[in-house]
C-alpha cells in the first residue's frame, strides 16, 4: 500500500486547480458510493484529483488506478480494508472497468465498511451494467462526464468565466459571450477541430485521440463484454464502417451481412459503441406504450473524433448535426423530427448553413433554424455555436 500512497501523493501534487469543470459541482460528493463515467480523455481522473486537493483531508483519502500492477496480486476489497484500518475515509478508484468482477468487491466494501466512502470512475460502457454479478443500482449514484462544451473551451483558452445558458435564453440569443474584439465563429472553428477534450493543448492531439478511440474499441469494450478475439475484430470493423457512414441510417440486414455476423447480434454491437461514448444515437419519440425507441440515425460523438479519424465524407452538415446533438442531449431529451432534423419538447429544429431558409419548419407549431457562420440570433435564426453554452 505504501507504493500506492506514494504514487497518489505524486499525482496529487502534479494536478493543477486553475480550472475546474463546472460539472464538478453537479455531483453530490456526500454520497457513500459514487460512479463517474465518461469517454477516455474527458477529464475524469483530473476532476477527482482536483476534488481531493481542494476539499478532502489528503491523509484520509487515497486515489488508485484499478489497472495498477499492484492489483495483479491484491484485491480492491483487501486494499479498502487495510486503508480503512489505517484511518482512511475516502477511497477513489480510477479505471474501474479494467478490474474483473469489480461490482462484487465494491458491493462488499459498501456493505461491510459503511464508514468508508468510495468514488469510482470508468468508461461510459459501464452504463450497460454488465460489470459483474452484483447489483449496485440501489447503492451507487452515477454521473456521466461529457466532452467539453464550447463555453468551457472558451473559458480554458481565454481565461474567461462565461456562464451556461438555458435553452430559452439560447433561443433568444442571450449567451454570455464578450463580443467586441472577440468573434465567436473564429473560436468555434478551432473548437470543432480540437476543443472537445481537456488535453487539446498537447502536441499531436488528434493522433492521441485516435489512439484513445482505438483503445476503447480494441480493449475496453471487448474486455467488458467478454468478447472473443474474432468478435472484437468485427466490432472494430463495425466501428469504422459506421464512422464512414455517419449519420448512419439503420440497415441492419446489409451491415450484418458485410460483417458476417448474426443480425440479432448487431444491435448489441451498436449499443456497445453508443454506450462507450463514441457514438450518439438519435431515436424517434416513443408513442403509446412503446418501450423501445426506434433508432433513426447514428452520429459520432463529436467533431474532434471525425477529424481524428480523417473521415473524408464528414461534410459541414454532418458536423453541425453532430455537435447540436452532443450538446443538447446533456440537459434535454433530443429526438428525431418527422418534418425536420431534431425535436426537443415541443420545439422543432432545422440545422443548416447561413443561407438555410427553413422550409421544413412551415409545418411546425414552434420551430427554429440553427445556422452555421452567423454571430447573432435574429428572429427564428439562432447561431449553432450558441448551443455550445448549454452546459
Q: What is the DSSP string of 165-183?
A: --HHHHHTT------SS--
- Identify the structural domains of the chain with CATH numbers, from first to last: 2-144 (3.40.50.300), 152-389 (no CATH)
Kind of pairing between the strands at 141-144 and 33-37: parallel
pLDDT value, residue 129? 59
Grade residue 349 by pLDDT with cuts at 50, 70 and 90.
very high
- What pLDDT was estimated at residue 311? 78
Name the pLDDT band for 289 (thresholds 50, 70, 90). very low
SS3 221: helix
Enclosing H/E stretch for 283: strand 279-283
Bridge partners, residue 282, by sequence: 297
Q: Which strand ranges, in their side-by-side order, compose the sheet holding 334-336?
A: 295-300, 279-283, 334-336, 342-344, 347-352, 367-371, 381-383
Measure the CA–CA gap between 239 and 217, rounded to whole angstroms: 8
Q: Which whole number is the average pLDDT over 133-139?
A: 78
DSSP letter at 385 equals G
Alpha helices in the chain (DSSP H): 2-13, 44-55, 76-85, 102-112, 150-158, 167-171, 184-194, 205-215, 221-225, 229-244, 252-259, 266-275, 303-308, 316-328
Asked whether residue 89 carries a pLDDT value surpassing 90, the answer given is: yes
Out of 21-25, 220-224, 364-368, least confident range = 220-224
Q: Which single residue is written with the C-alpha cell 440569443?
A: 173
> 300 phi and psi, to 5 degrees?
-65, 155
- pLDDT grade for 287, boundaries at 50, 70 and 90: low
Report whether pLDDT(131) > 50.
no
Nearest to 152 by CA among 326, 19, 45: 19
Question: Region 144-158: what's the mean pLDDT?
Answer: 98
For the chain, the maximum distance between any two Cα atoms, rounded to a whole number of angstroms, is: 68
Confidence of residue 312 (pLDDT cuts 50, 70, 90): low
- pLDDT at position 291: 42
What's the rounded mean pLDDT across residues 35-55? 97
**Cα–Cα distance for residue pair 150/243, rounded to 1 Å:** 23
Give SS3 for 110: helix
Cα–chain center distance at 3: 32
Residue 36: pLDDT band by 50, 70, 90 thresholds? very high
- Does residue 27 register a pLDDT over 50? yes
Contact 342, 335 (CB under 8 A): yes
Statement: residue 133 has pLDDT above 70? no
Question: pTM for this structure?
Answer: 0.93
Copy the grid coordinates of residue 287.
408513442
Contact, 260 vs 281, CB < 8 A? no
Contact (Cβ atoms closer than 8 angstroms) between residue 305 and residue 206 = no
Please, what sign has the CA dihedral across residues 204, 206, 209, 213? Answer: negative
Q: Cis before residue 247, ω within 30 degrees of 0?
A: yes
Amino acid at each position: 500500500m505504501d507504493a500506492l500512497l506514494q504514487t497518489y501523493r505524486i499525482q496529487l501534487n502534479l494536478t493543477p486547480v486553475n480550472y475546474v469543470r463546472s460539472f464538478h459541482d453537479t455531483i453530490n460528493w456526500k454520497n457513500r458510493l459514487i460512479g463517474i463515467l465518461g469517454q477516455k480523455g474527458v477529464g475524469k481522473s483530473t476532476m477527482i484529483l482536483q476534488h481531493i486537493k481542494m476539499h478532502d483531508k489528503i491523509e484520509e483519502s487515497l486515489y488508485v488506478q484499478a489497472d495498477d500492477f499492484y492489483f495483479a496480486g491484491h484485491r480492491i476489497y483487501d486494499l479498502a480494508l487495510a486503508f480503512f484500518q489505517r484511518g482512511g475515509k475516502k477511497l477513489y478508484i480510477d479505471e474501474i472497468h479494467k478490474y474483473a468482477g469489480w461490482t462484487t468487491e465494491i458491493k462488499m466494501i459498501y456493505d461491510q465498511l459503511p464508514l468508508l466512502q468510495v468514488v469510482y470512475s470508468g468508461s461510459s460502457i459501464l452504463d450497460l451494467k454488465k460489470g459483474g454479478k452484483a447489483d449496485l443500482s440501489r447503492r451507487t449514484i452515477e454521473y456521466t462526464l461529457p466532452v467539453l462544451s464550447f463555453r468551457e473551451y472558451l473559458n480554458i483558452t481565454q481565461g474567461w468565466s462565461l456562464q451556461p445558458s438555458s435553452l430559452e435564453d439560447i433561443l433568444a440569443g442571450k449567451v454570455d459571450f464578450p463580443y467586441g474584439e472577440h468573434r465567436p465563429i473564429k473560436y468555434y472553428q478551432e473548437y470543432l477541430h480540437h476543443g472537445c477534450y481537456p488535453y487539446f493543448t498537447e502536441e499531436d492531439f488528434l493522433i492521441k485521440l485516435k489512439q484513445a478511440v482505438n483503445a476503447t474499441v480494441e480493449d475496453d469494450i471487448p474486455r467488458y463484454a467478454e468478447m472473443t478475439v474474432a468478435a472484437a475484430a468485427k466490432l472494430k470493423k463495425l466501428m469504422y464502417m459506421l464512422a464512414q457512414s455517419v449519420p448512419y441510417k439503420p440497415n441492419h440486414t446489409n451491415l450484418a451481412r458485410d460483417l458476417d455476423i448474426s443480425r440479432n447480434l448487431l444491435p448489441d454491437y451498436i449499443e456497445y459503441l453508443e454506450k462507450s461514448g463514441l457514438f450518439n444515437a438519435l431515436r424517434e419519440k416513443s408513442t403509446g406504450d412503446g418501450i423501445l425507441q426506434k433508432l433513426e440515425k447514428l452520429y459520432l460523438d463529436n467533431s474532434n473524433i471525425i477529424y481524428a479519424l480523417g473521415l473524408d465524407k464528414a461534410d459541414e452538415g454532418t458536423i453541425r448535426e453532430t455537435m447540436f446533438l452532443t450538446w443538447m442531449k446533456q440537459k434535454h431529451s433530443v429526438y428525431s423530427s418527422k418534418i425536420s432534423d431534431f425535436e426537443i419538447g415541443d420545439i422543432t429544429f432545422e440545422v443548416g448553413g447561413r443561407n438555410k431558409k427553413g422550409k421544413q419548419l412551415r409545418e411546425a407549431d414552434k420551430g427554429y433554424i440553427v445556422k452555421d457562420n452567423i454571430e447573432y440570433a435574429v428572429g427564428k435564426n439562432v447561431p449553432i455555436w450558441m448551443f455550445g453554452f448549454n452546459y
